[in-house]
Structure 1
């Protein structure tokens, strides 16, 4: 036996298996294997997954530290043009080698390179005709003409991601996507605004997941997401705007997951989330509405008034079991909701804190969550107000007589915390290294365990590598004499330690 000659085990595998292995690499990486041996020369071109990214080519033209000014810019532009030409030739070559062979996934990412529009459209049509099922287009090109609507006519597409920041607009004349289950639209402008989106969704008969990111529908007269098959919806609108969406409608009775970030609409004509299980809500007021609440608060004229009305939207999510609320959504509950609905199914609630937003809406929210089991605070910082009930200790200055009257009232009327059925209380971002407010946060946690009678687990996440600080906080809380629940067990987790009273 000849042990002096090394064996190429991989080259001895069947070509179909080698192509399958190459499909896990980017197309650029797979192409580099063509120099290994004659057998490998064209194997990369027959993988079912193609991933083209022009940034890989453009990265070769990095800045020369000895070049500057107009000459440098001219050189870079010429270099980028050459690399874009090389990129287009590479894509053309791979597609030509593949011929009419079946293709599963096609991913095309184009940044600021000078790529010919006609060739790009030809590439897309090529893979559509070959039955592509997973199509991802991420393009940042300044085209003046509309993107062809033929992309929405496919018998085979199962997943479609489309991002065309800075143009072109999307023309949705005809839609036929009978197998599409996942649709991801990002930074897209439709030719006919809301009509375009509605028509696109109407042609997706079995769509299960819809992701809409960085789409501004404030200028649209009406927006409707009406899909009985939809199970997951993610919407991320453009925040901090001066205008609000006009009319928004959701008719998604089988939706189980919702992640929603947007400015409050003037009207929610329909909100059907009857099957909702988990929701992450970041609903905000416009800049003008935020200014109005702050001005009114300072003048003391906000009593009983609302700057917008998100009641119908909040009512629509009341069947949810797992709920995440941003700090700005708490603000919406305070200033833009007629009444907080009853959350009968809610078992897990996460609250995000912000030093500019108060906890005024939390007492009613907890009172209307009779089956809540887990309460999570992401931070304990919030705006100091006199309307948080017994949620916190950081009330504005009051004279002694007022404090005594409040104490008497608290003894007579059960508080939201004393009635809260929560068994697991978690505090994330409890404190950081050298946190000047840590003593106030410790007092706040003590207030929780003094008042909440059903807590069985108190878990604090302390972001510090200093073990001595962690041990000190743990000991303070462990030795605290006044605890509403005798079953309460403490766990404090830091970068280096995990202390638990259960050990």
Structure 2
């Protein structure tokens, strides 16, 4: 037997990190926050100032907050943060900046924030991500909206839409010739729709627009008109206040995600290229009168308002559609007619116990080419008008709309949340009623193998299926059970 000893380390290799190419070092540091990158200056002499020269800078004042410290001096902490950002930008000189991310709260003064924004704009920044707090009496820097270098811009309030947290935006001039992605979060426009329209009109090559946590306060109308736009996420707050008029003039749009209280009117809708849509619509209410009650506060009477018919007509050519539980309620109470979705092949329905399925029969009847139907939960409010689709109150002697459904695949997600028996009864109804069904997948939120076996065996006891070739799969985490009525269980 011969003993093997490790070779003695070559003294020339002890500083091997320093011999890495600078381009590779910059690439490595670009994956770290700037504070973390600054710590690498201790590794070797060559790395001492390289952290300040990477093209992606990421500053977050929360990294300076230590949860183990009690009664920490926030003023001192923010002063340290300001000095650090100033030092890094100072070390860079005129070195260009590719991406600049800044996340800071009210403790960082507006003067410093604006100084940093001006600096990176002068360095030709192409990706600007700002989640900051600008005080109510000080508007957002308008120079951002005339940048010739920006390709991606994100603007958001650090703490969301709370008092003192939202950003005021009032751009005087907008010219963003290279901007392709615009992300706006928790922003209040000084002149609301006028400012939004002005902002979009200056983005001539915009392809993706994300507007979230936008408030309808006193808005008369809203218009998104961008001929180059391909992806749009438009989510507003305000809940029961319906906008009077909404326009989406987006002929190149492919993906549309829309969350809002249903509008009183949709003036113009241009979705010629739309492939996928996700709708989370809320019922709107309007005060229609006051009832005087003896010895009590007056009772304010509200009525549902808004109409989703025009919106559905606008998106009727989509291939993939997601409808939230709120949207199902809107289709029931605030939609005169459901159009025919000739191109729709994938439909996802979200369910909850507060909303019935009254609108589903007409919806499914008007999807002649639907192939995949996905349910996020099966439990819903039991009503007399949803028996055409479910078993909660079946309509006697009337054929269900499921018997003519072309659906081949059904996926049940969130199975087992509340009542397995009710959910199993609904699944059995699908299997007994849908003649074209080829696959049914049940996603069971359990890690217990016996639970999967129990559900599988219950489904196996069905005397008949509408489709003899339907394969059933019950899955959970890494467990999967597949079977048909004519074969034994197989577990994977």
- So what's the TM-score if we normalise by structure 1? 0.87
**Aligned length in residues:** 457
For the residues of structure 1 that align with 2:20 and 2:422, how far apart are their CA atoms?
Answer: 66
Q: Please state if 1:122 is matched with 2:152.
A: no
Look up the match of 1:95. Answer: 89
User: How far is the alpha carbon of 1:4 from its aligned partner?
Assistant: 5.9
SS in 1 for 2:144: helix
SS in 2 for 1:344: coil
For the residues of structure 2 that align with 1:94 and 1:268, how far apart are their CA atoms?
Answer: 49
Q: Please state if 1:416 is matched with 2:398.
A: no
Look up the match of 1:430. Answer: 415
User: How far is the alpha carbon of 1:265 from its aligned partner?
Assistant: 1.1
Look up the match of 1:104. Answer: 98
Contact 2:110 2:135 in 1 (8 A): no
One of 283, 291, 297 as aligned partner of 1:285: 283
User: How far is the alpha carbon of 1:375 from its aligned partner?
Assistant: 0.5
Look up the match of 1:192. Answer: 191
Root-mean-square deviation over aligned CA pairs: 1.9
Contact 1:194 1:217 in 2 (8 A): no
Look up the match of 1:10. Answer: 17
For the residues of structure 2 that align with 1:4 and 1:185, how far apart are their CA atoms?
Answer: 54
Look up the match of 1:223. Answer: 222
Contact 2:169 2:188 in 1 (8 A): yes
Q: Which runs of 5+ in 1 are unaligned?
A: 65-71, 290-304, 396-402
* Mapping 1:198-217, distance limit 5 Å: 198-217=197-216
Contact 2:283 2:304 in 1 (8 A): no
User: How far is the alpha carbon of 1:147 from its aligned partner?
Assistant: 1.2
Look up the match of 2:380. Answer: 382
SS in 2 for 1:169: strand
Look up the match of 1:445. Answer: 427
Look up the match of 1:69. Answer: none
User: How far is the alpha carbon of 1:287 from its aligned partner?
Assistant: 5.7
Q: Please state if 1:479 is matched with 2:486.
A: no
1:312-339: CA deviation from partner (whole Å, max 9, x where unpaired): 1111111110001001101111111110
SS in 2 for 1:3: coil
- So what's the TM-score if we normalise by structure 2? 0.89
One of 471, 482, 485 as aligned partner of 1:489: 471
User: How far is the alpha carbon of 1:8 from its aligned partner?
Assistant: 2.1
1:434-472: CA deviation from partner (whole Å, max 9, x where unpaired): x4x211211111111111100000111111223222212
Q: Please state if 1:21 is matched with 2:19.
A: no
User: How far is the alpha carbon of 1:217 from its aligned partner?
Assistant: 2.4
For the residues of structure 2 that align with 1:492 and 1:324, how far apart are their CA atoms?
Answer: 23
For the residues of structure 2 that align with 1:495 and 1:233, how far apart are their CA atoms?
Answer: 33
One of 67, 74, 96 as aligned partner of 1:80: 74
User: How far is the alpha carbon of 1:497 from its aligned partner?
Assistant: 2.3
Look up the match of 2:4. Answer: none
Q: Could you say if the C-alpha distance between residues 335 and 63 of structure 1 is closer, same or farther in structure 2, counting changes exceeding 3 Å?
A: same
Look up the match of 1:499. Answer: 481
Look up the match of 1:68. Answer: none
Look up the match of 2:364. Answer: 366
Contact 1:462 1:492 in 2 (8 A): yes
1:178-208: CA deviation from partner (whole Å, max 9, x where unpaired): 0000000000111111100000000000000
Q: Could you say if the C-alpha distance between residues 142 and 237 of structure 1 is closer, same or farther in structure 2, counting changes exceeding 3 Å?
A: same
SS in 2 for 1:215: strand
Contact 1:144 1:167 in 2 (8 A): no
Look up the match of 2:169. Answer: 170
1:119-138: CA deviation from partner (whole Å, max 9, x where unpaired): 21111011111110000000
Q: Could you say if the C-alpha distance between residues 141 and 488 of structure 1 is closer, same or farther in structure 2, counting changes exceeding 3 Å?
A: same
One of 133, 149, 170 as aligned partner of 2:126: 133
Contact 1:353 1:382 in 2 (8 A): yes
Look up the match of 1:341. Answer: 339
User: How far is the alpha carbon of 1:143 from its aligned partner?
Assistant: 4.3
Look up the match of 1:302. Answer: none
1:276-331: CA deviation from partner (whole Å, max 9, x where unpaired): 11111101113669xxxxxxxxxxxxxxx974312111111111100010011011
- Indicate the structure with greater helix content: 1
For the residues of structure 1 that align with 2:424 and 2:79, how far apart are their CA atoms?
Answer: 62
User: How far is the alpha carbon of 1:62 from its aligned partner?
Assistant: 4.4
1:460-498: CA deviation from partner (whole Å, max 9, x where unpaired): 111122322221211121231121001111101124521
1:67-113: CA deviation from partner (whole Å, max 9, x where unpaired): xxxxx5xxx4xx11111111111111111111111110000000242
Look up the match of 2:396. Answer: 407
SS in 2 for 1:237: strand
1:9-53: CA deviation from partner (whole Å, max 9, x where unpaired): 221123333222212211001111112232221111100000011
Look up the match of 1:317. Answer: 315
Contact 2:343 2:369 in 1 (8 A): yes
User: How far is the alpha carbon of 1:140 from its aligned partner?
Assistant: 2.6
1:153-177: CA deviation from partner (whole Å, max 9, x where unpaired): 1111000000034244112110010
User: How far is the alpha carbon of 1:350 from its aligned partner?
Assistant: 0.5
* Mapping 1:30-41, distance limit 5 Å: 30-41=37-48
For the residues of structure 2 that align with 1:177 and 1:62, how far apart are their CA atoms?
Answer: 44
Look up the match of 2:299. Answer: none
Contact 1:218 1:246 in 2 (8 A): no
